[in-house]
Amino acid sequence: MRYHKIPDETIRRLPIYLRELLLLSEKGQQKISSKLLAEFLGFNPAQIRKDFSYFGGFGIRGVGYEINELIKNIKKILKLNIVRKTALVGVGNLGSAILQYSGFKVYGLEIKAAFDTSPSKIGKVINGIKIESVSKLTGLKRRKIKLAILSVPRNAAQENADILVNSGVSGILNLTPARLVMPKNIKVITLDIAMYLARLPYYTL
């Protein structure tokens, strides 16, 4: 295979494939074709094959893909082949829902620390995680936590993001509606739930 820059869209789809494959694996499936996987996901089979081909291709011609092998490969690409420790900053309504959310596990993501400013929350334990003061954020470097979920109020977002970066965090899932200004070696993915709901009326009403 010749050199190709890997499209961002391909990376965006990998976790979708992974989720479906994990489900199939759980059901005891061993093999899958691009055609069938595409049908399950509503994608085009060529797109699936092309996505995998950027990484060398994981299939067997005439046969298809071995599901567990494919899972291993995608996890490796996404660097999810080892457990990734994550910190949560801001244990409000959304934050505490996230602390209790079980959907991260399948991806090898584990929330290992939670922080808040409110004295009434500090010390409380949610889902086995003791809430710490945000002043303890600097300890993330020592604890080798490189990922963070930010769910503080909007006006505290930039400030806390800055602290996270200073504490060695290099990837932030920003659940606030704030635009974060960050050094460009830091990856920020912003996810404002309201913005998704706001697109629905256009299509349907």
Residues that bind a copy of itself in the complex, under the rule CB under 8 A: 11-12, 14-16, 18-20, 40-42, 77-80, 84, 86, 92-94, 96-98, 100-101, 103-104, 106-107, 109, 146-147, 149, 170-173, 177, 179, 185-187, 189, 191-205
What are the tokens at 204? Answer: 């349907």
Identify which range of 63-71, 80-88, 91-99, 113-121 contacts DNA by CB under 7 A.
63-71
In the complex, the smallest distance separating the C-beta of residue 14 from DNA, rounded to whole angstroms, is 12
Q: Which of 50, 124, 143, 146 binds DNA (CB under 7 A)?
A: 50
Q: Which of 46, 83, 189, 195 binds DNA (CB under 7 A)?
A: 46
What are the tokens at 19? Answer: 């989720």
167 touches, from a copy of itself, DNA, none (C-beta below 5 to 8 Å by class): none
Q: Distances from the Cα of 158 to the Cαs of 24, 124, 135, 179, 188, in angstroms?
A: 40, 25, 16, 8, 12
Q: Which is nearer to DNA, 9 or 26 (CB)?
A: 9
Q: Which is nearer to a copy of itself, 63 or 200 (CB)?
A: 200
Q: Does 42 bind DNA (CB under 7 A)?
A: no
Say which residues have a Cβ less than 8 Å from residue 109's Cβ, sequence separation at least 6.
80, 83, 84, 86, 147
In the complex, the smallest distance separating the C-beta of residue 69 from a copy of itself, rounded to whole angstroms, is 19
Nearest Cα to Cα of residue 36 among 68, 65, 72, 77: 65
Q: Does 64 bind DNA (CB under 7 A)?
A: yes
Measured CA to CA, the distance from residue 16 to residue 5 in angstroms comes to 20
Q: Which is nearer to a copy of itself, 15 or 139 (CB)?
A: 15
Nearest Cα to Cα of residue 48 among 22, 70, 69, 76: 70
Identify which range of 50-58, 103-111, 139-147, 177-185 contacts DNA by CB under 7 A.
50-58
Q: Is residue 28 a contact partner of residue 74, using CB atoms and an 8 Å limit?
A: no
3-state SS assignment for residue 109: strand
